[in-house]
Amino acid sequence: RRVSVVGLGYIGLPTAAMFASRKVQVIGIDVKPDTVDTINRGEVHIVEPDLDIAVRSSTRSGYLRASLTPEPAEAFLIAVPTPFVGDSHEPDLSYIQSACETIAPALVTGNIVILESTSPVGATEHMADWLAELRPDLSFPQKAGENSDIRIAHCPERVLPGHVMQELITNDRVIGGMTERCSEMAVAVYRHFVTGNCVVTTPRTAEMAKLTENSFRDVNIAFANELSLICDKLDINVWELINLANLHPRVNILRPGPGVGGHCIAVDPWFIVAKTPEEAQIIHTARKVNDGKPQWVIDKVVEAVQARGQSTATVACLGVAFKPDIDDLRESPALAIAKKLIATENLNIIVAEPNIDKLPANMAELDVSLHSPEQAIAKADIVLGLVAHREFKALSRDLLDGKTVIDTCAIWE
């Protein structure tokens, strides 16, 4: 058995390592020579608990190998990014299209191609059409139905960063085959390591299911964030309010924060809005509410400086990761806030982020050194809680005496 995983990033690499751990021969394909070399040395280029161990043992055992060029396999899994086109909120399918160009020459009768990338509704059909154009000698399900040479399915990934290696195994999978046999074959592929249910549907429903899951979370976080603005105006403690409301057996409000980060929840709802702008009113508004939260936090800091009657102030930003207890800075609202505050006149910014040793090279414009939380608070006039890391929650409240505290994420509640 051989599986090829195209795109060795946050989803592709853990998935490849998971197949290899089950003694399936895996060829991982990536466009970046550095990534290919790193993996072939048994090392990893991304941080995810236990991924390093899995990649090291799979390359040593010979079940995982990375390459720039495609090789024959039974199943091809595509796990490439689907970002926005430029500064727009339109999905960019060009990475999927390139992946098709990469694998097309290696396809033979009996293969299955599975799209794992989070995609707008209709993307799997586009993928099938691109492959059909590239390989006119083979038949595909959109024309040949159950008799096609190549099978096609969409099986979106749903794993939570920080828990990927566990959730890959235990999460239920949505399997959207273009035909029943496409779904059956996709289920057989995932059964190598998935212990959760594999639930079969169509590609369009599978695409929408993934977008719906992340939009559901975004809308619910927006509700919590909107409550935080309302409570601030009405002089009510939003954390106490939410705890009280959540005592109701059918209410479960999420946590307000400095905004929504990461590369999924702040992106995927736009794929629904882009397709159905008239209908997707709540989903669109939720995006705007969550995207507006960082500026609200910045305004709070500026107000706090004025309230202290100071012309300049030192602000300790506690946390720059995109969520608690993780070292991932991508699309982090906390980092965006810290950067904007650094660019604000008369503010001296210090940053504490216990999950990283140094700010990454491409953040060089962040001309600040990392402090321990205790040091940062000691030097600060204003303490700005941005991420509820466990190290911050463990801090003594006495450290905050005499400081102005803006706690956006309930570190001290």
Stretches 190-198, 209-217, 358-366, 389-397: which one binds ligand SAJ (CB under 6 A)? 209-217
Stretches 29-37, 143-151, 210-218, 391-399: which one binds ligand SAJ (CB under 6 A)? 210-218
- Shortest reach from residue 312's CB to ligand SAJ, in Å: 30
Residues 110-139, one symbol each (x = binds ligand SAJ by CB under 6 A, - = not), give --------x---------------------
Rounded-to-integer distance, Cα 406 and Cα 371, Å? 18
- Choose, by CB under 6 A, the member of 17, 96, 238, 264 that binds ligand SAJ: 264
Q: Is residue 14 near ligand SAJ by the rule CB under 6 A?
A: no
Rounded-to-integer distance, Cα 409 and Cα 242, Å? 13
Catalytic (active site) residue 264: yes
Distances (CA, A) of 234 to 220, 241, 296: 21, 12, 16
Q: Is residue 160 near ligand SAJ by the rule CB under 6 A?
A: yes
Distances (CA, A) of 223 to 115, 282, 283: 32, 10, 11
Q: Is residue 386 near ligand SAJ by the rule CB under 6 A?
A: no
Rounded-to-integer distance, Cα 378 and Cα 320, Å? 19
3-state helix, strand, coil in the chain (%, to 5): 45, 15, 40
- Shortest reach from residue 380's CB to ligand SAJ, in Å: 22
Q: Is residue 158 near ligand SAJ by the rule CB under 6 A?
A: yes
Please, which residues bridge with residue 114 across strands? 77, 153
Between 203 and 262, name the residue whose CB sits nearer to ligand SAJ: 262
Single-letter amino acid code for the residue at 394: A
Q: What is the DSSP string of 182-224?
A: HHHHHHHHHTTT--S-EEEE-HHHHHHHHHHHHHHHHHHHHHH
Between 70 and 257, name the residue whose CB sits nearer to ligand SAJ: 257
Stretches 47-55, 59-67, 95-103, 249-257: which one binds ligand SAJ (CB under 6 A)? 249-257
Q: Is residue 203 near ligand SAJ by the rule CB under 6 A?
A: no
Q: Residue 88 — φ and ψ, nearest 5°?
A: -80, 180
Name the catalytic one among 155, 198, 264, 409: 264
- Nearest CA-CA partner of 79 in 29, 27, 25: 29
- Choose, by CB under 6 A, the member of 46, 106, 229, 254 that binds ligand SAJ: 254
- Choose, by CB under 6 A, the member of 74, 92, 184, 213 that binds ligand SAJ: 213
Reported residue count of the chain is: 413
Stretches 90-98, 107-115, 256-264, 356-364: which one binds ligand SAJ (CB under 6 A)? 256-264
| CA atoms 204, 210, 215, 220: torsion sign | positive
Rounded-to-integer distance, Cα 147 and Cα 155, Å? 21
- Shortest reach from residue 232's CB to ligand SAJ, in Å: 16
Catalytic (active site) residue 182: no
- Choose, by CB under 6 A, the member of 1, 255, 275, 403 that binds ligand SAJ: 255
Binders of ligand SAJ among 313-342, rule CB under 6 A? 322-323
Between 150 and 264, name the residue whose CB sits nearer to ligand SAJ: 264
Name the catalytic one among 100, 210, 293, 409: 210
- Nearest CA-CA partner of 226 in 168, 293, 163, 164: 293
Q: Is residue 12 near ligand SAJ by the rule CB under 6 A?
A: no
Single-letter amino acid code for the residue at 365: E
Phi and psi based region of residue 384 (left: phi greater than 0; alpha: psi -120 to 50; beta: remaining): beta
Q: Which residues are catalytic?
A: 210, 264
Binding footprint of ligand SAJ on the chain (CB under 6 A): 118, 157-161, 213-214, 217, 221, 254-255, 257, 260-262, 264-265, 322-323
